[in-house]
Chains A and B, each alone.
Chain A
């Protein structure tokens, strides 16, 4: 089935946040801190205000009042403290974008600068153990005695991996268009992965009752997590609009997106593994060192996949966080699982070599009966099936494990494998289904961020109603619609789909209308370990002349419940795997240690894969039946594709070259450094 909104998208008729035709609109442009730490002494907007067409300058001088418990990243102008370079310290509102931007450069901000600290290290004196990690998981877990397990191990590894700052970079920049009506109600067209949550956050930040705020996001050009939380543009547009009495639009530049829309924390991860003579793990320890800002504690759940993956009698996972003079990290596709599985799955490969075992076989031997940390039964777990199917398709049985011996001219060839996992969750959602001119209208405040949520929900509804999907129309992306959770955590389809199924069932009984709220149903869910699994296989070519690395083949095999729409699912898997390829070989935001903030803040410098990098990327899936998840039997698929890719590629680089590079991205510079 084609995407229901495919035609409006390819013909340019789909309306994104910044594109709504609004009369008399004014434009806001942010002024950003040019120090990494300190205080704003004075903001002088005189020169800006003198420019023709400038309407207002917002700053901590005569700041508009916001709620006292606002998220510090959204509490614009409420404090003179500067927490990171690039933080929004003022803004100009003007008749045109160009005037606003030029005037913003004329706003004079004087600072008292303090010494800053933006460098993460595993021995930073400020490291501490956070109480919980994202979203609300325990920071530490321990089962058995890791030291004892390592002591009795036949073979063991103790390895440290590093991942850099990474940015989401959706195609559509973060944007907002805000206006107030005569009754004091606020309308915000925002780039949002969830309008229900966004309305709550905007209302809370501005000190308004939620019913006075409406957030609309009918089309969103990608988010990956960076639009999963409300970003400052929405608050700034609302404040500016109230100040000038006109609708105000703000579109962040790509450079500003690097500063104020979140990023994946850099990580340093130490993994210790021990294995006995039979190839069974005796101990698994995974410690993650990562950063947050001085404003907000965001602790990525980096070592949590190690609580899920392998049967180890001694299992310890933990996190250490340091608060630096940096922007607050946030969600990026598969937070936790993505960087965590890079380290765990690279270490598993190292252990396989240390123990003289095939890397697929090592994983199969350590596949657990129940979830290792919690002891809970799995609703379904088909990692072994994915590994076996992938090995078969990839021709793994012909692989000579010896590293560094396959050569075509100057090119060294290698293959690698890694496992993937991602939690399967669902959240309460509401939905309404009504009949309209013989067709059906499904309404809920879900989000389609380019994944095809409309299409999937139409199919789900059509399946219950017993009609063709074309007869189901889905309206979403408006906070006035029945409440719905985020497009995030790979739980959109499961959460919204449950509500749509229940609403359709109700309509079948009622004949005219069906309403659903799945809060009670989800509360009654059995306690089970719910996860999707996968296996990724990579073939790489590494030039012995230039150190260039090209991925000649990527294969992902996934067990993710019932696949609701094959076309859309394949896109999600391939997109995730391609993003994982970028993480493995090129993506990196450079932190500016001298001045604070980030360097490489555009797509010419922050490289994501080009088409030429994705030479042969293939995703397949096992038929997996799991009736204990939700009425569709589906698991989320938006994130698992990126999990494990970088490890598979890194392991293939080792197989090609005989060397382990334990710091991403794996670049020609690092390959060349291997040789004298």
Chain B
């Protein structure tokens, strides 16, 4: 590990002010410290923001504001979250292990990096880690990489469970930074790899997430389901956050679908949603909607299973949620 400076920020303003070239913000460190050990991240300076007073979960009118440094465990256990956004609590609990969740923060969870084997190994090429060096995953090990929104430069996935639920909930990410304060609606925080896979998000240097605001829970029933070959402590092969509201007429009044494990971003299945809203809540409609979404998939030989998996998962989730 390269030697680095460590400073603890006293306030968000101070954290932003202290941010310079080579600086990284440190939250729970459950991903960043690993990456530093591996030589993937080599910050010259860490500004520890984990103890900023951003660890509250509070109602703001009919919305709920979750502070950026709230620990994953506390988020999942919070009565307000459990009663109003059970899908979010379930998504958080589906991630990592109890020990990791005790340390990991909300903002850190959003900003965690891909677990692609090539990205994590500094002795091999990776466009995300070393722009222009190539992507060996396309011809090599991509069994758990992306099938949607990929580019020739990168097929990495975003590994978070929590972010998938937030994307389905239309959460808003509050950011402060050198350019002032702004609000980024999910899933717009993360970006597709395109020709710049080194950029995971739309954040600029020095931007600091201060909170995530949850709009009133959407009407209807919701669920989070995660598929993995190990029953616990594994990243999703594919996961789904889904909300379905069926009107008295049997038609879909509202529908939200977000997928994890399939893209560089928590993937909001907008095509499927559009196909469903206003139509009948039937198994056939669910299947057509899933297929409409997955038409755009570009699977590779060893991750092609994710397409039928995502299709099955969308259909099963909607069937479970339908009255």
Contacts and interface: CB of A to CB of B under 8 A. Distances in A.
A233 B185 CA distance: 51
A611 to B, nearest CB: 7
Nearest to A602: B120
A101 B231 CA distance: 35
A609 to B, nearest CB: 7
B95 to A, nearest CB: 13
B305 A610 contact: no
A288 B31 CA distance: 41
B227 A668 contact: yes
A493 to B, nearest CB: 32
A8 B9 CA distance: 41
A669 B302 CA distance: 8
B307 to A, nearest CB: 9
A546 B316 CA distance: 9
Interface in A14-73: 34
Interface string B127-158: 00000000010011101000000000000000
A307 interface: no
Contacts of B303: 669
A585 B141 contact: no
- For chain A, what secondary structure do more than half of its interface residues adopt (helix, strand, loop), or is it mixed? loop
Given A548-B228, A586-B230, A592 B309 contact: no
B202 interface: no
B280 interface: no
A673 interface: yes
A592 B141 contact: yes
Interface stretch (B170-178, B205-213, B232-240): B232-240
Find the residue from B117, B141, B230, B233 having the highest chain A CB count within 10 A: B230
Contacts of A612: 230-232
A545 B286 CA distance: 14
A547 B140 contact: no
B308 interface: yes
A609 B232 CA distance: 9
B39 interface: yes
A600 B234 CA distance: 13
A590 B141 contact: yes
B121 interface: yes
Contacts of A105: 39
A667 B312 contact: no
B123 interface: yes
Nearest to B143: A669
B1 A585 contact: no
**Contact count band on B:** 35 or more
Interface string A581-594: 00001100010111
A599 B3 CA distance: 27
B82 interface: no
A592 B303 CA distance: 17
Contacts of A101: 1
Contacts of B115: 604-605
A669 B124 CA distance: 26
A547 B121 CA distance: 30
B309 A613 contact: no
Find the residue from A98, A594, A607 having the highest chain B CB count within 10 A: A594
A545 B305 contact: no
A546 B136 contact: no
A672 B308 contact: yes
Interface string B98-126: 00000000000000000101101101100
Contacts of A590: 117, 141
B5 interface: no
Contacts of B238: 546
B308 A585 contact: no
A593 B140 contact: yes
Interface in A536-590: 545-550, 585-586, 590
Given A98-B1, A599-B141, A545 B231 contact: no
A548 B237 CA distance: 10
B21 to A, nearest CB: 21
Given A34-B123, A102-B3, A669-B305, A548 B229 contact: yes
B139 A594 contact: yes
A672 B305 contact: yes
A611 B140 contact: no
Q: Which 8 A-B pairs have the closest CB atoms?
A: A612-B231, A612-B232, A669-B305, A610-B232, A546-B227, A599-B117, A672-B305, A545-B316
15 contacts: A98-B3, A101-B1, A102-B2, A545-B312, A546-B227, A547-B305, A547-B309, A548-B228, A600-B141, A604-B115, A605-B115, A610-B234, A669-B302, A669-B303, A673-B305
Given A594-B139, A599-B118, 6 more contacts: A548-B228, A549-B229, A590-B117, A590-B141, A612-B232, A669-B303
Interface of B: 1-3, 39, 115, 117-118, 120-121, 123-124, 136, 139-141, 143, 227-234, 237-238, 302-303, 305, 308-309, 312-313, 315-316
